[in-house]
């Protein structure tokens, strides 16, 4: 069996680097976050309604074709 080699830094190094990278992130302001959340919710509802409408139409169409 081959021994697994542990890289220098290990888990502590990983967390240290992760925190350092998170400090570099340009976080959105509260108003930006609220605006973007609204945009996402509007897109989700719109796409959901569109797909629901397509599902309904295709269900009716196949029902007519198959005579159900």
pLDDT in tens, the chain (68 residues): 566 666 677 888 889 999 999 999 999 999 999 999 999 999 999 999 999 999 999 999 999 999 86
Instruction: Encode 38-54: b = buried (16+ Cβ within 10 Å), e = exposed.
Output: eeeeeeeeeeeeeeeee
Contact criterion met (CB below 8 Å) for 36 and 28: yes
Rounded to whole angstroms, how far apart are CA atoms 20 and 15? 9
Q: Is the pTM of this model over 0.75?
A: no
């Amino acid at each position: 069996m081959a021994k697994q080699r542990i890289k220098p830094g290990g888990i502590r190094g990983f967390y240290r680097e992760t925190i350092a990278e998170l400090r570099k992130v340009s976080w959105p302001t509260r108003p930006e976050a609220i605006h973007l959340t609204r945009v996402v919710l509007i897109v989700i509802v719109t796409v959901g309604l569109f797909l629901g409408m397509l599902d309904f139409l295709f269900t009716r169409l196949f029902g007519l074709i198959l005579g159900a």
